[in-house]
Copies of this chain bind each other. A is one copy, B any other.
């Protein structure tokens, strides 16, 4: 549904948001460790998010990444996906049926529109403040298994 790049970006953002709410800045090593992503790859993803203004970064000792608490309500999945994958998910049909248009719809257009509407609603509804709070309250978890091992194991 989204690229791995984007998956890491989402997980990292939620983690950084949580730490920022607790007043901490968190560095690359810790992030890649906690979310189970390759360090050298993560650095670029976080750079992209910084460049897009989603994260704040600070070099040097005591440096790391953070998110301004007042911005957290504005930053949602949609923004992160746009920053990392670019709008393809939205502009292209998820089923690859070439062209979208209301007066020339492909055979499954109606069905697919429902899914797309839900997806759009979700990515815009899910903001970082909410997600980070969920983590802090303990109601929800940010599972940090390395490299999706659990999911891959299922296949074997």
Contacts and interface: CB of A to CB of B under 8 A. Distances in A.
A144 B105 CA distance: 12
Contacts of A107: 14, 126, 130-132, 134-135, 140-142
B122 A111 contact: yes
Interface in A108-149: 108-109, 111-112, 114-115, 118-119, 122, 125-126, 130-132, 134-135, 140-145, 148
Number of copies: 2
A58 interface: no
Contact of A122 (B6, B108, B150): B108
B106 A115 contact: no
Contacts of A88: 151, 155
A74 to B, nearest CB: 17
Contacts of A140: 105-109
Interface stretch (A22-30, A62-70, A94-102): A94-102
- The secondary structure that dominates the A interface is helix
Interface residues of A, number: 55
Contacts of A1: 1, 89, 94-95
Contact of A4 (B96, B111, B130): B96
Nearest to A110: B140
Nearest to A130: B107
Contacts of A151: 88, 91-93, 98-99
